[in-house]
Protein backbone atom coordinates (compact mmCIF):
# COMPACT_ATOMS: atom_id res chain seq x y z
CA UNK A 1 0.00 0.00 0.00
CA UNK A 2 1.32 3.47 -0.89
CA UNK A 3 2.16 5.82 1.95
CA UNK A 4 -0.06 8.46 0.31
CA UNK A 5 -2.99 6.09 0.78
CA UNK A 6 -2.08 5.04 4.32
CA UNK A 7 -1.62 8.51 5.84
CA UNK A 8 -5.24 9.71 5.31
CA UNK A 9 -6.60 6.38 6.58
CA UNK A 10 -4.54 6.66 9.77
CA UNK A 11 -5.56 10.30 10.19
CA UNK A 12 -9.25 9.48 9.73
CA UNK A 13 -9.15 6.65 12.25
CA UNK A 14 -7.31 8.72 14.86
CA UNK A 15 -9.91 11.46 14.45
CA UNK A 16 -12.65 8.92 15.17
CA UNK A 17 -10.78 7.88 18.34
CA UNK A 18 -9.91 11.44 19.40
CA UNK A 19 -12.43 11.68 22.24
CA UNK A 20 -11.23 8.46 23.86
CA UNK A 21 -7.62 9.67 23.66
CA UNK A 22 -8.50 13.13 25.02
CA UNK A 23 -7.38 14.71 21.75
CA UNK A 24 -8.84 17.94 20.35
CA UNK A 25 -9.86 17.39 16.69
CA UNK A 26 -9.49 21.11 16.02
CA UNK A 27 -5.73 21.06 16.74
CA UNK A 28 -5.00 17.40 15.95
CA UNK A 29 -2.05 16.70 13.65
CA UNK A 30 -1.05 13.22 12.43
CA UNK A 31 2.40 13.16 10.86
CA UNK A 32 4.34 10.32 9.28
CA UNK A 33 7.73 9.90 10.94
CA UNK A 34 10.30 9.29 8.21
CA UNK A 35 13.81 8.03 8.74
CA UNK A 36 16.31 5.25 8.07
CA UNK A 37 14.80 2.95 10.69
CA UNK A 38 13.31 -0.50 10.32
CA UNK A 39 11.63 -0.62 6.88
CA UNK A 40 9.27 -3.34 8.18
CA UNK A 41 7.43 -0.79 10.33
CA UNK A 42 5.82 2.58 9.67
CA UNK A 43 5.54 5.21 12.41
CA UNK A 44 3.41 8.29 13.07
CA UNK A 45 3.45 11.17 15.52
CA UNK A 46 0.00 12.15 16.81
CA UNK A 47 -0.46 15.42 18.68
CA UNK A 48 -2.85 18.21 19.55
CA UNK A 49 -2.19 21.36 21.57
CA UNK A 50 -1.85 19.39 24.81
CA UNK A 51 -1.17 15.68 24.23
CA UNK A 52 1.14 13.52 22.11
CA UNK A 53 1.17 9.86 21.07
CA UNK A 54 3.37 7.64 18.94
CA UNK A 55 2.00 4.96 16.60
CA UNK A 56 4.09 2.09 15.22
CA UNK A 57 2.49 -0.09 12.53
CA UNK A 58 3.52 -3.23 10.68
CA UNK A 59 2.09 -4.44 7.40
CA UNK A 60 2.98 -8.13 7.40
CA UNK A 61 2.19 -11.04 9.79
CA UNK A 62 5.76 -11.30 11.08
CA UNK A 63 5.73 -7.64 12.07
CA UNK A 64 2.31 -8.03 13.68
CA UNK A 65 3.60 -10.96 15.76
CA UNK A 66 6.63 -8.97 16.95
CA UNK A 67 4.47 -6.01 17.98
CA UNK A 68 1.96 -8.36 19.66
CA UNK A 69 4.81 -9.80 21.70
CA UNK A 70 5.75 -6.27 22.76
CA UNK A 71 2.10 -5.67 23.70
CA UNK A 72 2.00 -8.82 25.82
CA UNK A 73 5.20 -7.83 27.65
CA UNK A 74 4.54 -4.08 27.66
CA UNK A 75 3.99 -3.61 31.39
CA UNK A 76 7.15 -5.54 32.26
CA UNK A 77 9.26 -3.69 29.68
CA UNK A 78 8.02 -0.29 30.87
CA UNK A 79 8.65 -1.12 34.52
CA UNK A 80 12.11 -2.64 34.09
CA UNK A 81 13.61 -1.36 30.85
CA UNK A 82 12.41 2.19 30.15
CA UNK A 83 10.07 1.20 27.31
CA UNK A 84 7.32 3.75 26.50
CA UNK A 85 3.92 2.90 27.95
CA UNK A 86 1.45 1.31 25.56
CA UNK A 87 -2.05 2.74 25.21
CA UNK A 88 -3.46 0.00 23.00
CA UNK A 89 -3.51 -2.03 19.80
CA UNK A 90 -4.76 -0.34 16.64
CA UNK A 91 -5.80 -1.95 13.35
CA UNK A 92 -6.17 0.43 10.41
CA UNK A 93 -9.50 -0.31 8.74
CA UNK A 94 -9.38 -1.76 5.21
CA UNK A 95 -5.58 -2.06 5.26
CA UNK A 96 -3.12 -4.78 6.35
CA UNK A 97 -1.53 -2.35 8.84
CA UNK A 98 -1.80 -2.85 12.60
CA UNK A 99 0.32 -2.00 15.61
CA UNK A 100 0.85 -0.20 18.89
CA UNK A 101 -0.20 3.21 20.13
CA UNK A 102 2.16 4.60 22.79
CA UNK A 103 2.42 7.55 25.06
CA UNK A 104 4.89 9.70 23.13
CA UNK A 105 8.49 9.02 24.24
CA UNK A 106 9.78 12.50 25.10
CA UNK A 107 13.40 13.34 24.55
CA UNK A 108 15.89 13.51 21.73
CA UNK A 109 18.44 11.26 20.05
CA UNK A 110 22.01 11.78 21.26
CA UNK A 111 25.50 10.54 20.48
CA UNK A 112 25.98 7.97 23.25
CA UNK A 113 29.76 8.38 23.12
CA UNK A 114 29.29 12.02 24.20
CA UNK A 115 26.94 11.21 27.11
CA UNK A 116 28.91 8.71 29.21
CA UNK A 117 26.37 8.57 32.04
CA UNK A 118 23.66 7.49 29.62
CA UNK A 119 25.98 4.91 28.05
CA UNK A 120 26.72 3.47 31.48
CA UNK A 121 23.01 3.38 32.34
CA UNK A 122 22.27 1.50 29.12
CA UNK A 123 25.08 -0.93 29.90
CA UNK A 124 23.45 -1.71 33.24
CA UNK A 125 20.04 -1.99 31.58
CA UNK A 126 21.13 -4.59 29.04
CA UNK A 127 22.97 -6.46 31.77
CA UNK A 128 19.71 -6.80 33.70
CA UNK A 129 17.90 -7.73 30.49
CA UNK A 130 20.33 -10.53 29.63
CA UNK A 131 19.94 -12.00 33.13
CA UNK A 132 16.11 -11.75 33.22
CA UNK A 133 15.04 -15.39 33.49
CA UNK A 134 11.34 -14.52 33.86
CA UNK A 135 11.46 -12.69 30.54
CA UNK A 136 13.50 -15.47 28.90
CA UNK A 137 10.77 -17.98 29.73
CA UNK A 138 8.23 -15.88 27.81
CA UNK A 139 10.22 -15.47 24.59
CA UNK A 140 10.25 -17.79 21.57
CA UNK A 141 13.00 -20.35 21.09
CA UNK A 142 16.48 -19.12 20.15
CA UNK A 143 18.75 -19.84 17.22
CA UNK A 144 20.86 -22.91 18.16
CA UNK A 145 24.12 -20.91 18.34
CA UNK A 146 25.38 -17.34 18.14
CA UNK A 147 26.78 -18.29 14.73
CA UNK A 148 23.30 -19.26 13.51
CA UNK A 149 21.88 -16.03 14.92
CA UNK A 150 24.44 -13.94 13.02
CA UNK A 151 23.99 -15.82 9.74
CA UNK A 152 20.18 -15.62 9.86
CA UNK A 153 20.18 -12.00 11.04
CA UNK A 154 22.84 -9.41 10.15
CA UNK A 155 24.45 -11.52 7.41
CA UNK A 156 21.21 -12.45 5.63
CA UNK A 157 19.86 -8.87 5.70
CA UNK A 158 23.08 -7.34 4.38
CA UNK A 159 23.43 -9.99 1.67
CA UNK A 160 19.88 -9.39 0.42
CA UNK A 161 20.33 -5.60 0.44
CA UNK A 162 23.60 -5.69 -1.50
CA UNK A 163 22.05 -8.03 -4.06
CA UNK A 164 19.10 -5.66 -4.48
CA UNK A 165 21.42 -2.65 -4.74
CA UNK A 166 23.45 -4.32 -7.49
CA UNK A 167 20.23 -4.92 -9.43
CA UNK A 168 18.77 -1.42 -8.88
CA UNK A 169 22.02 0.59 -9.27
CA UNK A 170 21.32 3.60 -6.98
CA UNK A 171 22.93 6.59 -8.70
CA UNK A 172 25.15 7.49 -5.74
CA UNK A 173 26.73 4.02 -5.31
CA UNK A 174 29.19 2.66 -7.86
CA UNK A 175 29.91 -1.00 -8.53
CA UNK A 176 33.34 -0.77 -6.88
CA UNK A 177 31.75 0.36 -3.61
CA UNK A 178 29.20 -2.45 -3.70
CA UNK A 179 32.00 -4.95 -4.38
CA UNK A 180 33.98 -3.53 -1.45
CA UNK A 181 30.98 -3.86 0.90
CA UNK A 182 30.31 -7.42 -0.28
CA UNK A 183 33.96 -8.33 0.33
CA UNK A 184 33.80 -6.87 3.83
CA UNK A 185 30.67 -8.88 4.56
CA UNK A 186 32.31 -12.06 3.23
CA UNK A 187 35.38 -11.43 5.38
CA UNK A 188 33.34 -10.99 8.58
CA UNK A 189 31.16 -13.99 7.80
CA UNK A 190 34.25 -16.16 7.30
CA UNK A 191 35.52 -15.07 10.73
CA UNK A 192 32.18 -15.90 12.33
CA UNK A 193 32.08 -19.34 10.70
CA UNK A 194 35.61 -20.12 11.86
CA UNK A 195 35.40 -18.71 15.40
CA UNK A 196 34.68 -21.03 18.32
CA UNK A 197 33.37 -17.94 20.15
CA UNK A 198 30.22 -18.12 18.02
CA UNK A 199 29.50 -21.73 18.97
CA UNK A 200 27.94 -20.53 22.24
CA UNK A 201 24.14 -20.85 22.57
CA UNK A 202 22.12 -17.76 21.64
CA UNK A 203 19.65 -18.13 24.50
CA UNK A 204 19.52 -14.91 26.52
CA UNK A 205 16.93 -12.12 26.23
CA UNK A 206 18.30 -9.33 24.02
CA UNK A 207 16.92 -6.07 22.69
CA UNK A 208 18.43 -6.86 19.30
CA UNK A 209 18.37 -3.39 17.70
CA UNK A 210 19.89 -0.98 20.21
CA UNK A 211 20.94 1.69 17.72
CA UNK A 212 21.07 5.36 18.91
CA UNK A 213 17.74 6.20 17.26
CA UNK A 214 16.01 3.88 19.71
CA UNK A 215 17.28 5.79 22.77
CA UNK A 216 15.73 9.14 23.74
CA UNK A 217 17.27 11.35 26.45
CA UNK A 218 14.93 13.84 28.13
CA UNK A 219 15.81 17.27 29.50
CA UNK A 220 15.27 15.81 32.98
CA UNK A 221 18.08 13.30 32.46
CA UNK A 222 15.75 10.30 32.17
CA UNK A 223 15.61 8.17 29.03
CA UNK A 224 13.35 5.91 26.96
CA UNK A 225 14.30 2.81 25.00
CA UNK A 226 12.25 2.05 21.87
CA UNK A 227 12.35 -0.77 19.33
CA UNK A 228 11.26 -3.68 21.51
CA UNK A 229 9.65 -5.45 18.56
CA UNK A 230 13.10 -7.02 18.01
CA UNK A 231 13.15 -8.49 21.55
CA UNK A 232 14.11 -12.17 21.38
CA UNK A 233 16.40 -14.85 22.73
CA UNK A 234 19.78 -14.29 21.15
CA UNK A 235 23.43 -13.34 21.54
CA UNK A 236 24.02 -10.72 24.29
CA UNK A 237 27.15 -9.60 22.45
CA UNK A 238 24.88 -7.95 19.87
CA UNK A 239 23.49 -5.52 22.47
CA UNK A 240 26.91 -4.89 23.99
CA UNK A 241 28.40 -4.20 20.57
CA UNK A 242 25.82 -1.45 19.99
CA UNK A 243 27.01 0.50 23.04
CA UNK A 244 30.05 2.81 23.12
CA UNK A 245 33.20 0.73 23.74
CA UNK A 246 33.86 1.99 27.24
CA UNK A 247 30.36 0.97 28.36
CA UNK A 248 30.57 -2.50 26.80
CA UNK A 249 33.67 -3.81 28.58
CA UNK A 250 32.92 -7.38 29.57
CA UNK A 251 33.42 -8.03 33.28
CA UNK A 252 33.77 -11.79 33.95
CA UNK A 253 32.58 -11.20 37.52
CA UNK A 254 29.47 -9.20 36.63
CA UNK A 255 26.36 -10.44 38.41
CA UNK A 256 24.34 -9.87 35.26
CA UNK A 257 26.03 -12.81 33.56
CA UNK A 258 26.09 -15.27 36.48
CA UNK A 259 23.76 -17.78 34.85
CA UNK A 260 26.02 -18.50 31.87
CA UNK A 261 29.35 -16.98 32.88
CA UNK A 262 31.19 -20.28 33.11
CA UNK A 263 30.65 -21.22 29.47
CA UNK A 264 30.22 -17.82 27.84
CA UNK A 265 32.55 -15.21 29.28
CA UNK A 266 35.78 -16.52 27.73
CA UNK A 267 34.20 -15.93 24.30
CA UNK A 268 31.99 -12.88 24.80
CA UNK A 269 34.67 -10.21 24.24
CA UNK A 270 35.65 -11.75 20.89
CA UNK A 271 32.05 -11.71 19.70
CA UNK A 272 31.52 -8.12 20.86
CA UNK A 273 34.55 -6.96 18.85
CA UNK A 274 33.45 -8.66 15.65
CA UNK A 275 29.79 -7.70 16.00
CA UNK A 276 30.79 -4.07 16.59
CA UNK A 277 32.37 -4.14 13.13
CA UNK A 278 29.31 -5.93 11.71
CA UNK A 279 27.04 -3.21 13.12
CA UNK A 280 29.26 -0.52 11.58
CA UNK A 281 28.87 -2.26 8.22
CA UNK A 282 25.10 -2.48 8.78
CA UNK A 283 25.13 1.28 9.29
CA UNK A 284 26.45 1.58 5.73
CA UNK A 285 24.14 -1.01 4.16
CA UNK A 286 20.83 -0.36 5.97
CA UNK A 287 20.33 3.12 4.44
CA UNK A 288 20.62 1.45 1.03
CA UNK A 289 17.77 -0.90 1.99
CA UNK A 290 15.64 2.04 3.12
CA UNK A 291 16.58 4.05 -0.01
CA UNK A 292 15.49 1.22 -2.31
CA UNK A 293 12.16 0.96 -0.47
CA UNK A 294 11.61 4.73 -0.54
CA UNK A 295 12.55 4.99 -4.21
CA UNK A 296 9.70 2.64 -5.05
CA UNK A 297 7.17 5.14 -3.62
CA UNK A 298 6.41 7.78 -6.24
CA UNK A 299 5.06 10.57 -4.05
CA UNK A 300 6.98 13.07 -1.91
CA UNK A 301 10.11 10.99 -1.71
CA UNK A 302 12.97 13.35 -2.58
CA UNK A 303 13.79 14.74 0.91
CA UNK A 304 13.78 11.22 2.36
CA UNK A 305 15.98 9.85 -0.40
CA UNK A 306 18.52 12.63 0.11
CA UNK A 307 18.59 11.94 3.84
CA UNK A 308 19.18 8.23 3.28
CA UNK A 309 21.93 8.94 0.75
CA UNK A 310 23.70 11.18 3.29
CA UNK A 311 23.33 8.51 5.99
CA UNK A 312 24.92 5.93 3.70
CA UNK A 313 27.78 8.19 2.63
CA UNK A 314 28.55 9.34 6.18
CA UNK A 315 28.57 5.78 7.52
CA UNK A 316 30.71 4.58 4.60
CA UNK A 317 33.34 7.25 5.23
CA UNK A 318 33.41 6.37 8.93
CA UNK A 319 33.65 2.65 8.19
CA UNK A 320 36.57 3.11 5.79
CA UNK A 321 38.35 5.27 8.34
CA UNK A 322 37.83 2.91 11.29
CA UNK A 323 38.21 -0.44 9.51
CA UNK A 324 40.66 0.18 6.68
Q: What is the pLDDT of residues 309-321, one digit of tens each?
A: 999 999 999 999 9
Within 10 A of 220 (CB to CB), how many other CB atoms are there? 8
Choose the final residue of a domain: 71, 103, 135. Answer: 103
pLDDT in tens, 81-134: 999 999 999 999 999 999 999 998 888 988 888 888 898 899 899 999 999 999
Query: Residues with Cβ < 8 Å from 93, sequence gap 6 or more?
Result: 9, 13
Reported pTM: 0.88
Domain total for the chain?
A: 2
Within 10 A of 167 (CB to CB), how many other CB atoms are there? 8
What is the C-alpha separation between 226 and 82, in angstroms, rounded?
8
pLDDT in tens, 152-203: 999 999 999 999 999 999 999 999 999 999 999 999 999 999 999 999 999 9
Length of the chain in residues, anyone?
324
Query: Do residues 131 and 252 both lie within one domain?
Result: yes
177: domain CATH number is 3.90.1200
In sequence order, what are the beta bridge partners of 86?
Answer: 102
Query: Do residues 157 and 136 both lie within one domain?
Result: yes
Q: What is the mean pLDDT of the chain?
A: 88
How confident is the model at residue 134, as a pLDDT? 94
pLDDT above 50 (res 255): no
Query: Do residues 92 and 118 both lie within one domain?
Result: no
Query: Do residues 231 and 203 both lie within one domain?
Result: yes
How confident is the model at residue 295, as a pLDDT? 80
How confident is the model at residue 256, as a pLDDT? 46
Query: Do residues 232 and 180 both lie within one domain?
Result: yes
62: domain CATH number is 3.30.200.20
Q: Is the dihedral of CA 153, 156, 161, 162 positive or negative?
A: positive
How confident is the model at residue 69, as a pLDDT? 96
How confident is the model at residue 245, as a pLDDT? 76
Report residue 303's pLDDT band, with 50, 70 and 90 as the boundaries.
low
Query: Do residues 58 and 152 both lie within one domain?
Result: no
**Contact status, residue 80 vs residue 74, Cβ threshold 8 Å:** no
Query: Do residues 195 and 279 both lie within one domain?
Result: yes
Report residue 212's pLDDT band, with 50, 70 and 90 as the boundaries.
confident
What is the C-alpha separation between 164 and 168, in angstroms, rounded?
6
Query: Do residues 16 and 68 both lie within one domain?
Result: yes
Choose the final residue of a domain: 43, 70, 103. Answer: 103
pLDDT in tens, 37-70: 555 678 899 999 889 999 999 999 999 999 999 9
Query: Do residues 182 and 248 both lie within one domain?
Result: yes
pLDDT above 80 (res 80): yes
Query: Do residues 83 and 139 both lie within one domain?
Result: no
pLDDT over 70, % of the chain: 89
Q: What range defines the domain where residue 299 resides?
A: 112-322
Query: Do residues 148 and 263 both lie within one domain?
Result: yes
Choose the final residue of a domain: 103, 126, 141. Answer: 103
Query: Do residues 116 and 90 both lie within one domain?
Result: no
Amino acid sequence: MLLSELIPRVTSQIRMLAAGLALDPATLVVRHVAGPGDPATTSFSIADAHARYYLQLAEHPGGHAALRRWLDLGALLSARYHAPRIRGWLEIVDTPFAGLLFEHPDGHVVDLSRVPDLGQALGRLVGRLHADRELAARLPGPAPTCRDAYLAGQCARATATLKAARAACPPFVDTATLAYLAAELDRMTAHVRASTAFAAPADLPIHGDLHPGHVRLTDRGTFHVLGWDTLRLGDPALDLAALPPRTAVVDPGADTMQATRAIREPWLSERVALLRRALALAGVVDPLHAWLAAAAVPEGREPGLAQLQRAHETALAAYRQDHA
